[in-house]
Each structure stands twice: as C-alpha cells, then as structure tokens.
Chain A
Amino acid sequence: MSGDGDASRDASRQEAGRVDWAQLRPLLSLTLAQQYRRGISPLTGAMHHPLRQIVLSFGFLGCFSCINLTRVPDAATFYNLVFAGAFALVLAGISPDAADSRQRSGDVLGSRPISGATTQAARFVTFAVMGILLSVPLALPGLVGAWLYFRVPTQVALLQLVMLLVQAVVAGMLWVQFFAIAVRWISIESLRRASQVLTVALLLAISLGSSGLVSPLLARTHVLGMPARAAGREILDALPSTSFAQFFLAGTESLANAHRVGVLALMALTLVLPWIGSLERRNQRLVDAIQISMERVSARPVHVRASLRVKLLRATSWMLAPPSAAVAETVLVHAERDDLTRVRSIAQGAMAIVFFLIGLGPNRQGLALFALAYMSFAALVESLDGVRRSPGWTAGWIFFTCPLKPRHLVTGMQVAIGMRSLLLPAALTIALLFWWAPPAVAMVATCAYLIGLRLASAACMVLRPGMPLATGERAFPEVAGLGLAVVLGLASSVSLRMMQFVVVKLGAVGLLMSMGGVVVLVLATVLAENLAATRLGSLEHAA
C-alpha cells in the first residue's frame, strides 16, 4: 500500500481536534440547505417545503394552544406551559436522519478531508438551528397571546422570547450529548424511531390538552392519591423548562434564584460538555456512527419480518381472488416497512381511540362520529396516495407486465388501504354506532359506512388513477386531500345521523328507506369500481 494514504490519514488525525472555520461555513450551508430548502423529498418522492411545513404546522398548533390563556390563572403558569411544550418538542423533534439520508451525507461528506471537530461543530449549529425552528413557531403565538391577554410588559415579553431561544439552543445541544451517550447501547435507528413516536405523542398531547376534551377526564382521575391536575402542576414545576420560563419573571425568593442557577448551570453544561474528553470522543464516535451505520446494516444479515397487519391479510386472503391478495400484500408490506407511514398510522390510531372514548360519553355522539368519519376518509385519501406512490416507483413496472385484470388491481389496492389505515377507525366507528343506535339501525348504518368507504376509494381512483407503487407524485395535493376528507366525513356523519333520525321518526318505513339508500350506494360503488378498472387498464408506465 502507498505511504501517501497513511501520511494523509495521520495529518487528518492531527487536525481532528481543530475546527476548520473555512470549511464550517460551506458545510453548514450544505447541511441546512439540504434539510430546509424546498425540493423533492427522498422519502416520499413528492415536492415538499420543509421550512414552510414546520412553520405552518407548529405555528397552527401554537395558535390553537392559545386557548389555554383562558384556562390558566396567570401569565407565569401559561409561560411554564409554553416553555414546557417547546422544550419537549425540541427533544422529540431532533433525531438522526433516516438511513438513506445518512448514507447520502456519508457519500458526500465522508470522502472529504473534513476533521471530526469541524463536523461536530457543524452538527451542534445544525441542532441549535433545528431547536430554534421547532420552538419558535410553536411558542411565539403563545408569547404574543400572553403579552396581549395578561398585559405582560413589552420588555418582559421580549426577554421571554430571548429565553425561549436560549432554551432551544440548550435543549438541542444537550440532546446531542444524550445521543452521543445513548448510541453506545442503542442503535441509531431505534433512537430515530423513538423520537418520531415521541413527536407524534407530544403533538397529540398538546392538541388534546388544548382542545379541553381531556379536562373532564383529568378532573376525575387521581395519580398516587393526588388529583391528576395537581400532579400535572407539580411535574410542570419540576421541569427544566420552568426554570427558563421563570428566569425573568420570579422575584428574589430562593425558588426563583434556584431557577436562575438551574438555567445558568444548564447553559454552562451545554458549553463545557462537548469538550470534556470522554464525551468529546463519544461525539466523534456519534459522527462516525451516523455515517457508517448503513455499512453496519448491510454487513449484518438482517432478515425481513412480516408485520401483524400482513399476517392478518395472509390469514384472510382466501376471501380474495389470488391476484388481488398478491397486489394487496405487495402494497401492504411495502407500506409497513416505511418509517414515515408507520409513525403516521400510530398517530391516527391514537386520535381515533381518543375520539371513540369521547363518543362513549353523553351528548358527544355527533362530534365523535364526525371525527371518526373524517379520520376514516382522511386515512383513506392518505392511504390511497400511499399505495400508489413510492420513492422507488420505477419498480412499479412489475404491475404493468403481470397478467392482472384491472379489477383485481382495484380490489387489491382497496384491501391494502383497508388493512393499512382503516381497520381501527372503522372498528371504532362501528362499535360507536352499535353503542348509540338500536342494532337494526346500527347494522344498516354500518353497511352504509363501509360501502361509503369503498365508494370513496373507487371514486378517488377514477378521479386520479394510478397503478400500485408506480408513481412518484402525490395523487391529491395535501390541501385537496384534507378538504375531500372533511367533506366526506361531514357528509357521512350527517347521513348516518339522518338515518338514525328517519328510523326513529318513521319506524320500519324509515329503516326500509335507509336500506334503499344503501342499495343506491352499492350500485354507485359497482359503477365507480368498473370505471376505476377501465381507467387503470389504460395507464402506461411513465419511467
């Protein structure tokens, strides 16, 4: 082997402890542009605007959480809540990149002569920026709200904003230290998935907490003999975020000073920790681990496994024509192994359960039915997109070359959508219908609901036909999909309530009328499915 390679490696080792400021700037531009600039998502193949998405989604949530202004006794408590939400979001939202992104970064940056310290410095700045980007859109509406609602002095309101930024940076940097330590025992993929689930859980918690739907539940629940609400306040007071929230608010009592000391200690820790010998080495290892984890994956003989949904599909596939079952299984397995869709389905499932529980209470049937119907149709539209779209869509040629009847393709996709996203909302909706209505009405309403879902899926395929996993673009733009789901959810929940009303008012005649409506739905479904099959049959593979 040539000695030149060894010499250059030695040189890079000598330079490993120094940050190259000339390299840091382009490195940061590259990393930040890659993360936040508008472009084609490598995960979904669709055009996305990461920055706009972050600002809009978290900003909307921040505005929504301003409802809490009227529920808290004073500005201090509200600030505690806002800072806690922002702190938790930074912790949950910062996670390692997906394996393929890491691979790309490794390919682009791994081969360049960049020292570990420079990479580490870039990483810290990236995490700090990410912390600020996650915190500010969520917390800013609350800070403005508190300034207006509690008439907080402008100077204090501005200082609170500064503290929010400090908290974002501190939380982001400390979280990296946690990763540096955790990566020794836990794989990066597991950390990434845990972060995704945590983010979803947190967003759900903020949404539900702000909606007021859980308040009655909290009022009745006790934790360790203490009312849940009081226990929540105790936990909130103990969080590090409360120290940041109280830094400029509290008086001169010992507790206030303790908060200030706590913040200063965390800030000092943030500055010192990365450069402590052992952690510094771990940070270097983290950088290496992030870059080489793909190699580990490929070196290890990983064996694929079937998920519970896929096993369920296999167990029930005797009810389907074999080609339809094969189409459904191909699509379902593909979707089940996609991190993004897995996390989404966890979030959707959790929301559906919450609304189901709400629906069990008195006078909430309409709201719960609408929410569940909306979620069913939203899941349907999203899932329909998912069964047709794939980052590896060029592999979709196989569905064009196999001797498949278009009708089998339609059924296969419908089954995949059902198994992937509709099992839980449908089961909960049906359970709710039987909980509220007499069995005969519930039976007819269940038929109408299920056929309605099938009709909607076929109609969407007629509007925007696409072969399974064979397109790189969204079938429906996100806003159009959302609008469609709202309209369908509203229409179906109103229809179900009307059906109930007609049966109650007209008795058997009303029930017959409802059954007639179901027959019309069936005919419309058959027509839509045939049309969808015709349109699928005329498609060509674009690659």
Chain B
Amino acid sequence: MTEAEAPAIELVGLGKSYAGRPALVEATLTVGRGEIFGYIGPNGAGKTTTIKILAGLLKPTSGDARILGRSVRENPLDVKARVGYVPESGAVFEKFSPAEYLTLIARLYGIPAASIDERRNRWLEAFGLSGDRDRPMTSLSKGTRQKVCWISALMHDPDVLVLDEPLNSLDVEAVRLAKDLMARFASEGRTVFYSSHLIEIVEKLCTKVALVQRGRILASGTVDEVRTRFNAPSLERVLLDLGHEATPA
C-alpha cells in the first residue's frame, strides 16, 4: 500500500501495559482520511493511553500504530511531524509568553524561520489572543492556556489532529472555533482523532466513533451503527449501560 492509499490511522493489535497491568489490549482500528473520529469510553478505559501512543508520548508494549502508513515504532519522527496533539492537561511552560512559547514550538517542529511569525500571529488572531501575546502565561487563565495548546498543535500544519478532551476550559467562542476548525480540517481531507466525554458534541461532530472499555475496543462505526449495535437510543445511553456491563447485541 502506498502512502497516498494508506488510512489516516491504523491500530494493529496495539497493546500497552503499565508495570504489567494492561491499559490497552490488542486494539485494532482503522480511521479513514477526512474523518472526525470520536474515541469514547468511561474513565480509565484506555483512551488517553491510545492517544498518547499516537502522539509519541508513550511506546506501545505490543502491536503497532500507523499514521498515514508510517509506524510509530519505526518512524516516530515522521509520525510526529504529521501529528498535532492537544493534551487533556492544557499544560504549557508558564514562564513564557504565548508568542515566545509558540515561536519555540515552531522551531522545534522545524518550521522555516521566515514563516514562523506569520503563522503564529495568524493563529493568535484566530483564537483572540493577540492582546495577550507578550504576557507571561502565569497571568493567563486556564482556558487561554488551552488555546495556546491548540495553536501549538496547529502551527506546523499537521495532517492528523489527535485531541484529548480538547475543549476543557474553553469559553463558548473558543469551543465554536474549535468545532469549526475540526470540521474544516476534515473537509480538507485531513483527519481528527477526538477523545471526549462531551457525548453530545461527539454525536453531532464525528463521522465515526469507537467505543473502548477496559482497554478493549468494543465497537466502531458510524454513530448510528454503534447505537444500533448496543440497541440504545443514544451514545450517552450506551456509555451509561457500559457502567452496567452492557455488551454488543
């Protein structure tokens, strides 16, 4: 399969254990290009572990994950160059100003010096942070720092966005902007892999979803397919039933 034909994301028997305790077991999944893919499940299901493997923060214990045909094991740098990651924590180095931080991130991604200022300022403007660009991030709100995380994921123009609860702490305007961005991103043939507990947003926004529980992927497909499979009226009901050990029909 050539790179152009490869799916955006492929999990192939992916596994991860922490000190012998399995957090992800034999996860197999394919995410096509141009999709907004929802990755949902209860707390401790293995969502963040999967996302961290895709972003390069964790190494798989078994199996592999491929992004645009490239293995996270064999070509980690290639993969990282194509992925934009927004963490759940929204943690940034607070001693920097947004402008400084984003400039350094751009340099870490190897963005040409000539285009760094233009890209940075464009995104700061888009997220309404132009007025805060030179203030230390210690004096900015958590939501503002989360916006900086978003920009740091977008600066290098990635092909795949990997988002872990990316709407945490964002205000209404920023949530709207983030949703628009995801939709636009997908419409350009790029892919969003999105983990969240905000099920209403997942249902409205995602073209496909996967349901994960106790480290295993229970089902994947369109929202309707997953609902039908669990014989539930909504994804929320599916997740609530999972708490009571529901199984696919």
Q: Are B59 and A540 in contact (CB under 8 A)?
A: yes
Residues of B within 8 A of A405 (CB): 77
Contact among B56, B78, B94, B135 with A301 in the assembled complex (CB-CB below 8 Å): B135
> Which residues from chain B contact A330 at a C-beta distance below 8 Å?
93, 104, 108
Does chain B have a CB within 8 A of A5? Answer: no
Let me know if A322 and B93 touch, CB within 8 A: no
Cβ 8 A contact of B92, one of A329, A395, A402, A543: A395
Q: Min CB distance, A537 to chain B, in Å? A: 8
Contacts A304-B134, A541-B58 given: A402-B97 contact, CB under 8 Å?
A: no
Known A304-B100, A392-B94; contact A400-B134, beta-carbon cutoff 8 A: no
B59 and A304 form a contact (CB under 8 A): no
B contact residues around A302 at 8 Å (CB): 135-136, 139
Tell whether A298 is near chain B: CB-to-CB under 8 Å: yes
Q: How far is the CB of A83 from chain B (nearest CB, A)?
A: 40
Q: Given contacts A327-B108, A337-B95, is CB(A397)–CB(B136) below 8 Å?
A: no
B78 closest partner in A (C-beta): A403
Judge if B80 is at the interface, Cβ distance under 8 Å. Answer: yes
CB neighbors of A among B65-101 (8 A) = 76-78, 80-81, 83, 85, 87, 89, 91-97, 100
Task: Known contacts A301-B135, A334-B96; decide if A538 and B107 are in contact (CB<8 Å).
Answer: no
Closest to A297 in B: B139
Q: Is the CB of A402 within 8 A of B136?
A: no
- Using a CB-CB cutoff of 8 Å, which residues 385-427 of chain A contact chain B? 390, 392, 394-395, 397-405
A538 to B87, CA, bound (A): 21
Chain B residues whose C-beta falls within 8 Å of the C-beta of A469 in the assembled complex: 93
Chain A, residues 472-508, CB within 8 Å of chain B (1/0): the string is 0000000000000000000000000000000000000
A303 within 8 A of partner (CB): yes
Report the interface size for chain A: residues with CB under 8 A from the other chain: 35
B58 to chain A: closest residue by CB: A540
A325 located at the interface, meaning its Cβ lies under 8 Å from any Cβ of chain B in the complex? yes
- Partner pick for A398 among B83, B97, B108, CB 8 A cutoff: B108
The verdict on A74 contacting chain B, using a C-beta distance below 8 Å, is: no
A106 interface residue (CB < 8 Å to B) = no
Q: Are A392 and B108 in contact (CB under 8 A)?
A: no
**CB contact under 8 A between A333 and B100, given known A302-B139, A395-B91, A397-B91:** yes
A338 interface contact, C-beta 8 A: yes
Chain B neighbourhood of A540, CB < 8 A:
57-59
Judged by a CB distance under 8 angstroms, whether A510 is at the interface is: no
Which of A333, A401, A404 is packed against the most chain B CB atoms within 10 Å? A401
Asked if B214 lies at the interface with its beta carbon under 8 angstroms from chain A, I say no
A404 CB contacts on chain B under 8 angstroms:
77, 108
* A397 lies within 8 A of B58 (CB): no
B55 close to A401 (CB less than 8 A)? yes
- Give the nearest-CB partner of B112 in chain A: A322
The 4 closest A-B pairs by CB, nearest first: A326-B107, A403-B80, A394-B91, A395-B91
What are 7 inter-chain pairs, A to B, with CB distance below 8 A?
A329-B107, A330-B93, A392-B91, A392-B94, A395-B92, A397-B85, A404-B108
